[in-house]
Structure 1
Amino acid sequence: MAGVDAELVLLVRAMRWESEGVLSVTLEDPGGELPAWEPGAHIDVELPGLTRQFSLCGDPADRTSYRIAVLHEPESRGGSQYVHTGLRPGDQVTVRGPRNHFALEPAERYLFVAGGIGITPILPMVAGAEAQGAEWALAYGGRSRSSLAFLGELAEYGDRVSVLPQDECGLLDLDGLLADLPAGTAVYCCGPGGLLDAVEARSAGWPEGALHLERFRAKEFVAEGDDQPFELVCESSGVTVTVPPGESAVDVLEEAGVFVSSACREGICGTCEVKVLDGVPDHRDWVLSPADQESGNTVLLCVSRARGDRLVVDA
């Protein structure tokens, strides 16, 4: 479920190395209390010429600050590089959100699987599960121990956390981790695409809703047949456009003067989610659950299309 879509100008209060290559950034609103959030939420951060999504990895009970953590990726599209080389304490940044499509759902027990920077949304989840008195375990992998962030905080949980650096333990033993899971176990996984794909491949036959994934990069979508043009009706704006094959509905709407908030343009952040009033969406995002996609109540306009000639949305 999407959260508050507030727009705030926040102050960078502090920056700290959490591991080799991972820098945490603490943001505060000098003017008052920040919007509430729950584990799994992220915020959109406006950086020079681009917008990036970062998971909140602090304490949801702390309404005075938000904490994010950013992996230094020199070959990234610019967001990581700017945070590490250009952003400094005392700077101001504009953020939107928080928004949550990776919420911690009630379950009898939890298995958390994190790879590298994928620990960021998982960190408040394990704290929440611990506070609830739930049964849980975390398997945390990455290149090396020095590259794994927040090990000090995770050490407080003792043997519930298994730290498994690749250079010491090899790749995560997913067959062992995911075999014979007790009934009622919810699996939450975040990390590199290869890890998520491997976990997803092993989830065949699990009960619906047992697996929860969050992707930092969109998985390649293979369409059934060739794209067809469709008519997109924006009920609130009174604007109707034709979306040609190969073009994003968000781009076509912007050309027509209808601006839908959009950040990732890959179908992974949920910023451009709008309500569907009529028609059947052709979902191509990696945010909505299978049940949400099946309902057809909302659609992510940056990547999705229509199953038919016409789609009416509340935009």
Structure 2
Amino acid sequence: MTSYDGIELVVERREPAAEGVLVLTLRHPSGVRLPGWEPGAHIDLLLGPGLERQFSLCGDPADRDRWRIAVLRERGGRGGSAYVHERIQQGDRVRARGPRNRFRLEPADGYRFVAGGIGITPVLPMLAAAEAAGVGWTLLYGGRTRASMAFTGELARYGERVTLAPEDETGLLDLAPVLDGLTEGTLVYCCGPGPLLDAIGERCPAALLRTERFRPAERHPDGDEEFEVVLARSGRTLTVPPDVSVLDAVRGAGVEVLYSCAEGTCGTCETDVLEGDPDHRDSVLTEAERAAGETMLICVSRCRGRRLVLDL
């Protein structure tokens, strides 16, 4: 079995967590300990050919026997969440790959967490980690309705540090209390729908903000041009036409690479850049990482010049 295939798991429990949200608890069928992870990590569920979806781990990182994920049934989605809700039952076998983490909880003097909807999933273990570290924190958690907001029962133990803000009761999230009085040692972690991330990104200093997107940021580049990609390990040179991604060009040449979302949101296809200037179009890399140009997500990003050399 290779890392491309993932590992086989069994669904130990399947239970609702809120309206439209299903929680799956997964374990190895033979009781083998699962790979360790840290808050912010996610796994890929390999649901079928061309149907791979990423879900944040929202259980206890100290529990190496089980992984827990929560799946929102998305209206107008691409079929992954519907598959989980309609077809995966307790006792079923599923394949998973990972964990990977592009949303790590960095050491800080304090944290202000903001979650929108299913964006609570990566934040949930972060709260426990901050609590264990004895660091001050607050959480602002919004959703369409109170009934649609998962894990509110688990959050109740944190008392007044958690503010629940269902939109039908309080309107759109008020970000001012989160961003007022920010100091250099405080980090803001936000996960949720695009409009929420855009709003907090406009008001929060970039150096203090950490975000994770479940859907790609809106980017509509015009005038894409053809360029060359050199695969350093084999010396092969590929031509990438304007309407073809680097990922598709590489796979079309018979080179096996890890990938998952193909939207620039999961980080699976991150590849080292040895030469050239990447045109970053992902929703994963930080501004500092983009400026360094040492890696790129080949599913969406392109080249600013005529040639890239990749560690493939």
TM range (shorter): over 0.9
Write the distance in 2 (CA, Å) between the matches of 1:198 and 1:255: 39
- Write out aligned runs for 1:141-160 (5 A): 141-160=142-161
Checking the alignment, whether the CA contact within 8 Å between 1:12 and 1:25 is kept in structure 2 is yes
Q: 1:231 is matched with which residue?
A: 228
TM-score normalized by the length of structure 2: 0.95
The one-letter amino acid paired with 1:215 is R
Structure 1 residue 7 corresponds to structure 2 residue 6: yes
Mark the runs of 5 or more structure 2 residues left unpaired by the alignment.
none
Q: 2:250 is matched with which residue?
A: 253
SS of the counterpart of 2:207?
Answer: coil
Shift of 1:222: 3.9
SS of the counterpart of 1:177?
Answer: helix
Q: 1:20 is matched with which residue?
A: 19
1:150-199 deviation digits (Å, cap 9, x = unpaired): 01111111111111111121111113332232332100001111111111
CA RMSD of aligned residues (A): 1.5
Write the distance in 2 (CA, Å) between the matches of 1:74 and 1:299: 31
Q: 2:29 is matched with which residue?
A: 30
Size of the aligned set, in residue pairs, is 308
Checking the alignment, whether the CA contact within 8 Å between 1:28 and 1:66 is kept in structure 2 is yes
Write the distance in 2 (CA, Å) between the matches of 1:87 and 1:237: 41
SS of the counterpart of 1:260?
Answer: coil
Query: Structure 1 runs of 4+ off > 3 angstroms?
Result: none
Which stretch has the larger CA shift, 116-125 or 68-77?
68-77
Q: 2:269 is matched with which residue?
A: 272
Checking the alignment, whether the CA contact within 8 Å between 2:4 and 2:258 is kept in structure 1 is no
- Write out aligned runs for 1:1-315 (5 A): 7-31=6-30, 32-49=32-49, 50-203=51-204, 206=205, 208-223=206-221, 226-315=223-312
SS of the counterpart of 1:228?
Answer: coil
Shift of 1:30: 2.6
Shift of 1:229: 1.2
The one-letter amino acid paired with 2:227 is F
Shift of 1:280: 1.7
Checking the alignment, whether the CA contact within 8 Å between 1:9 and 1:94 is kept in structure 2 is yes
Mark the runs of 5 or more structure 1 residues left unpaired by the alignment.
none
